[in-house]
Amino acid sequence: MNNTTSNQNALKIYCDLFGHNYEVSKKVTSHVKEYTCKCCKKQLTTNSNGNLTELTPKYREINRLLEDFYNRRMVYLKNKTFVSQLTNC
C-alpha cells in the first residue's frame, strides 16, 4: 500500500469517528452552496428541499445551470435598477 492511499484511509477513519469538517467550497446562489470536507474531500450540495446531498455529476450540472441563471438574473436586475434611477433624475 502506498503512502497516499494509507493517508487517505486515515483521514476517512477520522471522518468516520469524529464526523466531517465541511467548508463552503462554492456559493452557487444565496441559498444553494457546495461543501467540501477538509479531511476526506467528500463533496455535498443543497438539494431542492434545502437538505444536504452528495454532489453527483447530475447535481453538479444542475448547480452550474442554476448559477448561470442566477448570475444573469442579478445582472438584469442591477441594470434595470440603474436605468430606472437615471430616468427619475
pTM greater than 0.85: no
Give yes or no for residue 62 having a pLDDT over 60. Answer: yes
Expressed as residue numbers, the domain containing 79 is: 3-88
Give alpha helix (H) positions in the chain. 3-18, 57-88
User: What's the total number of domains in the chain?
Assistant: 1
CA 77 from chain center: how many Å? 23
CA 50 from chain center: how many Å? 12
What mean pLDDT do residues 5-12 have?
71
Mean pLDDT over all residues of the chain? Answer: 87
Q: How far apart are CA 9 and CA 50, in angstroms?
A: 30
Asked if 53 and 33 count as a contact pair (C-beta separation under 8 A), the reply is: no
User: Where residue 66 falls among pLDDT bands split at 50, 70, 90?
Assistant: very high
Question: In this predicted model, what pLDDT tens digit does every residue of 23-52 receive, in sequence order?
Answer: 999 999 999 999 999 989 999 999 989 999
User: How many percent of the chain have pLDDT more than 90?
Assistant: 61
